[in-house]
Amino acid sequence: MFKTPRGTQDILPAEQPYWDYVRKTAARVAFEFGYGRIDTPMFEATSLFQRGVGDETDIVQKEMYSFEDNGGDSLTLRPEGTASVCRAYIEHGMQNLPQPVRQYYVAPMFRYERPQAGRVRQHHQFGVEAIGDASATVDAEIIELGFRYLSQLGLSHFTLRLNSLADPEERKPYLAMLHDYFSRYSGDLPKVDLARLERAPLRLLDSKEEATRKIGEDAPRALDYLGDQSRLHWEELTGLLEDLKETYPSFEYQTDHRLVRGLDYYNRTVFEFEPQNAGGQGTMIAGGRYDPLIEILGGPPTPGIGFGSGIERIILELKAQEVPVPQPDELKAVIVSVGPARNAASRLAAELRSHGIATVLAPARSFKAQMRYANQSGAVNAVILGERELEAGVAALKSLRSDTPQVEVPLDKAAATLAAG
């Protein structure tokens, strides 16, 4: 028997209210901040991600769905959204638009990973990108957007962590210092982290190993190695975030020098929103500034900042916090009909639908079975159309939700009566 490929899932009708709710909320909040929707292809040139995400990252090294098409081009199912949006920015000359260019997307992403809670091979992200403005105002705007998104969804009990990774030229000496620092404790480091020390020293800072965390508490902090520009940027940002507390009484953030990033293109501001009782894969929003990226991709030097938010994880959290989500519009009418009235029933169904009344025909079974069907369908009304009604030119309307008595209405009044009720 066929099954969904590993790490993928069908989103069945019963789940759709959550998806509708999240997508609509995302679109509304993006709109409120002046972000326009962008859709990019689901696959791109493989080299876009190699260059943009970083050749050395795990995503590119071992998680991409890459294939060669019949023309011999190497293509890759996008593992993240930022590279594509930046490619579009360059390709369509968006530097000629008023800056910054604000765009958002809701789209599936693909990574060959081992599935677990909050991690699948096809996941969906709501992402926003503001390209073309280096000022801290935009950093604050993006963070506010993320906060508002979560708040509007009805989520609470989440935290915002914030850090600066400095600019690339400032990071080099910092990384060297970090490496030296941890090397001094190499005897006390667990195996996993010893391996990481050479590969990605920053990663030691957010290690889950107790021993490493302890050592990491006194490790050199990127924030202490910011250059003048980066420092000014940081101070402006934290100032703006303090102001945000005036607008949003529940807004909080904490700077956390252990917050780092796996993707290469980030500089300066990085941030994450996560649930307070986060399990393994809890991060709901992760973002940051990526000033070097556009140039890396062959565009003019152009700053940018954005975030990605995993919809599957948001939905997990909506369920965990028991946030009620709007249910789809209800089915209004099930037409129950027998024998010679079935044709008239079809015509009546078309008539009701043309008035925007959701209508289904009960299956051609016994009368009793049709009534049962109507009851189980969850519809508001049964519309009964039998020989007697047909002769009288009426339909019998019976409420399935209450015990109000059944009424007969002329066929041409049925739509109006149902719409009113």
Find the binding residues for RNA in span 334-353 (CB under 7 A). 338
**Which string of x and - marks every residue 189-208 that binds RNA (by CB under 7 A)?**
---x---x--xx--x---xx
**Which string of x and - marks every residue 86-105 that binds RNA (by CB under 7 A)?**
--------------------
Phi and psi for 241 in degrees, rounded to 5?
-70, -35
Peptide bond into 100 cis (omega under 30): yes
Task: Determine the 3-state secondary structure of 43 from DSSP.
Answer: strand
Binding of residue 168 to RNA (CB under 7 A): no
For the chain, the residue count is 421
Binding of residue 7 to RNA (CB under 7 A): yes
Binding of residue 49 to RNA (CB under 7 A): no
Footprint of RNA on 105-124 (CB under 7 A) = 111, 113-120, 123
**Could you tell me the smallest distance in angstroms from the CB atom of residue 215 to RNA?**
14
Q: Report the C-alpha gap between 282 and 105 in whole angstroms.
A: 21
Q: Is the CB of residue 317 less than 8 Å from the CB of residue 155? A: yes
Binding of residue 256 to RNA (CB under 7 A): no
Binding range to RNA, per CB under 7 A, among 12-20, 34-42, 93-101, 402-410: 402-410
Binding of residue 384 to RNA (CB under 7 A): yes
Binding of residue 128 to RNA (CB under 7 A): no
Binding range to RNA, per CB under 7 A, among 175-183, 229-237, 261-269, 319-327: 261-269
Q: Report the C-alpha gap between 134 and 132 in whole angstroms.
A: 7
| Contact residue for RNA among 365, 412, 416, 419 (CB under 7 A) | 365
Q: Is the CB of residue 82 less than 8 Å from the CB of residue 113? A: no
E strand or H helix at 219, and its extent?
none
Q: What angle do CA 233, 170, 95 make, to 5 degrees?
A: 55
Phi and psi for 358 in degrees, rounded to 5?
-65, 120
**Could you tell me the smallest distance in angstroms from the CB atom of residue 249 to RNA?**
25
Binding of residue 277 to RNA (CB under 7 A): no
